[in-house]
Amino acid sequence: MLGLNEFRHAPSIAIHMSATVPLCFSDFATLLEPLDAVELHGLLCGLLCAAPGLDARRWLHHVASTFDAPSADQAATQHQGLIMLFEHTAAQLGSADTAISLLLPDDDTELPQRTAALSAWCQGLLYGLGLELQQTRANAHLSATSQEFLHDVAEIAHASIEATDASEDAESAYAEVVEYLRVGLLTIQQDLLDSIAPAAPRLH
């Protein structure tokens, strides 16, 4: 497991990222290595949607209980990457003016690899949602739209494509799926926020 002790003793790093700047996949892939940056981002998105009050400490705890411990040399850079990922994603999901961006390989990556990454992101999202909803809000209401979205996410989580299938149409389909996931994520988030919002006072 990823040891919390390693994180506690990692150097303190001042991190400032604008939520309007897209996440750079290659940077996070390096910082979080050998962890899967894409799966981690999906996991974090699921956790933040299901638990809007999630803080960085709890985020690190979830990662520590899910993944193998880093080496001593990796601990500091992983800590930096995890905190940067948390702060940027939380800022995007918490802003009404900023569009959420998924952490995925750049467009110059071969389509089969990007499709595999998309599947990993979906797996992380489903795991993150389930993890928090199990513990805190098992009865949270989801609209029919969100339920259909989660069904589709489960299908995408098992998607793959052969190199021979890559084409202009496949590229277009990939882009449409990415946009669908981005919009669906915001729908899920709003449903869950609404389900825990305090009821409006009744007028007598």
Q: Which domains does the chain have, with CATH numbers?
A: 4-97+104-196 (1.20.120.740)
Question: What is the per-residue pLDDT for 204?
Answer: 42
Q: How many CA atoms lie within 13 A of 128 on its CB side?
A: 31
Q: Side chain identity at 135, as an amino acid letter?
A: Q
Summarize pLDDT for 106-160 with one digit per residue, the tens.
Answer: 989 999 999 999 999 999 999 999 988 876 655 567 889 999 999 999 999 998 7
With a cut of 50, which residues of the chain have pLDDT below it?
1-16, 198-204
Question: What is the per-residue pLDDT for 202?
Answer: 44
Question: What is the per-residue pLDDT for 8?
Answer: 40
pTM to 2 decimal places: 0.84
